[in-house]
Structure 1
């Protein structure tokens, strides 16, 4: 048995940190990255911003701060981890992914704080508290919005035919670990996203790494490719990368030898083979992992069904066994020497 798996199993058996009181040194936030954009030639118009307020002329021209990124941090009085842990969310979502599960349980932010990490939770450029800019003048294209039913299949709760607007008539995978009754609550977290802003998002993440690292990064879904590339851009700053169901990987031109000193772990849930998008995505990820290993690096996989853990959706950090999965990830980090 791999050393990190043994550490994980021991931690599952006796998670001493699970209910320990938190002693917090600091809670704060920061914005990083971005640029000044200038608009001109747009028409002015009269607006009333609040009922009962006098109208004003709105001039949409001028200089604007755009493409910045927001992160909140919680720093412990006595962290047991050697480096802060950065949690990066997926597409159409924000840092809320990591905070509280849709059915009200503590999320991975709290889990890893209790495990001894300083934790940063961010909203990618154009999401949440990072804000977004005028489009298409500054952000190219237009925002994409996710319907309630799209994620049912994309996030692997069930087959597309299993979706129904009536919660009582929805059909999930038989062993699904997602809290099905909280699906509508989860979808309240959805925000607009763009399909044309990867360059700007990557630039903001790279600025974030420069501002707060050395660190360990945990990414999810769309955040996966940004995390893989962030390691390529700053292998001296990121001490490990944990990719939870990443949806994309670096292209063929990427130099895997640059990241051979940074251990990678990829985590997969269940039903991947039954959903063509995810089976193709996993093939791409495994090719990137193989290239890292060929270059002499570490690129391991935590395949939960292969470990006998069935029913996990794409939203592993929200599934009913989310703490068990986090414990395995914590065991891997401990085995890699990332804890004091």
Structure 2
């Protein structure tokens, strides 16, 4: 018997795809009339360690208006360095992917990256569920529902918050100097943008503080996540790229493919032996205006060396530069751009070509 939640979720996925297909006349693949049945929705935390604090002063705090104050003791045991994962698994008849897709977000962001887009349209989580994949969406250490820890007692550095201007320019929605507090005065690239600029302020509500000192804990949590869930295919964005590449180096038997959406970092092929990655297919996708921001000029050059090193050792590594295919205006947030379904379909086609989906 199908659960009520499974029926409801199947209907939501189908109707969400139909609504996007109607907007702007852009077709959405898979077809909107394909209904998938969800078998299970769940979540878990993975990674982390216990830390004990002592010697900190107690405080008296009021936690709710009108409530009596109570004394708080910050000393004791804490669980820190964990990450959060939500999964949606399909029933056997709906599943076309051979392995679950693990979606890893970028810096200053969370798993929301893959959920509904800031303009209200369905995101890649919905797309790939509709395409027949079990989908796992995570919040890395310090982000979202993974939670964070005290500074400076546990996290060694202070949190860093991204301004709207940094997001506008770093994510290549507009050129340097084009952001304005007044939305009506913001300027996009003269050639246009695929990012839905009317939803930019909504997008920046997703911003989450990040720390510069937690890479080791984050990598450890990702590695434990891979051991718990995989074999799998990783779909990764931006800062998450280096974590995914290193996770694959540590557990090449667990990773069946890596889809890297504008990764911002990678292992140095002159310092790291990449031979463990030889049997894993890689797909790299890049948007537009990479030459308009110094960070992305450097990042894309660094990643190009990584990609070439993979190819030279015989790894199946494919690079898609969207502008070279006549697809222009894509920002760093490819999965949120207006043509995100077109890009997702290219990923799905690659998954099918590599035998990772039907």
TM-score per shorter chain, which class?
Answer: over 0.9
Say whether residues 1:227 and 2:250 are aligned partners: no
- C-alpha distance in 2, partners of 1:187/1:111? 22
Say whether residues 1:328 and 2:342 are aligned partners: no
Report the Cα offset of residue 53 of structure 1.
Answer: 2.2
Other-structure match for 1:63: 77
Report the Cα offset of residue 186 of structure 1.
Answer: 0.3
Report the Cα offset of residue 253 of structure 1.
Answer: 2.0
Say whether residues 1:39 and 2:57 are aligned partners: no
- C-alpha distance in 1, partners of 2:219/2:257? 18
Segments of 5+ residues of structure 1 without an aligned counterpart are 1-11
Residues 12-91 of structure 1: pairs in structure 2 closer than 5 A: 15-78=29-92, 79-91=95-107
CA 1:13–1:59: 2 relative to 1, 3 Å: closer
- C-alpha distance in 2, partners of 1:19/1:32? 36
Say whether residues 1:285 and 2:299 are aligned partners: no
- C-alpha distance in 1, partners of 2:119/2:231? 34
Q: What is the TM-score normalised by the length of structure 2?
A: 0.90
Alignment counterpart, residue 311 of structure 1, candidates 317, 325, 329? 329
Runs of 4+ in 1 over 4 A off after TM superposition: none
RMSD: 1.3
Partner SS state of residue 273, structure 1: helix
Other-structure match for 1:136: 152
Other-structure match for 1:3: none
Partner SS state of residue 315, structure 2: coil
- Give per-residue Cα distances to partners, 1:242-301, cap 9 Å, x unaligned: 000000011332211110000111100000012111011011111111111122211110
Q: Is the 8 A contact 1:70 1:130 kept in 2?
A: yes
Other-structure match for 2:175: 159
- C-alpha distance in 2, partners of 1:32/1:253? 30
Partner SS state of residue 71, structure 1: strand
CA 1:13–1:261: 2 relative to 1, 3 Å: farther
Residues 174-323 of structure 1: pairs in structure 2 closer than 5 A: 174-251=191-268, 252-323=270-341
Relative contact order, higher structure (CA 8 A, sep 6+): 1
Q: What is the TM-score normalised by the length of structure 1?
A: 0.94
- Give per-residue Cα distances to partners, 1:16-40, cap 9 Å, x unaligned: 4444122100000010000000101
Say whether residues 1:123 and 2:157 are aligned partners: no
- Give per-residue Cα distances to partners, 1:200-225, cap 9 Å, x unaligned: 11111111111100000000000111
Q: Is the 8 A contact 1:74 1:118 kept in 2?
A: yes
- C-alpha distance in 2, partners of 1:14/1:158? 27
Task: Give the total of aligned pairs.
Answer: 329
Partner SS state of residue 290, structure 2: coil
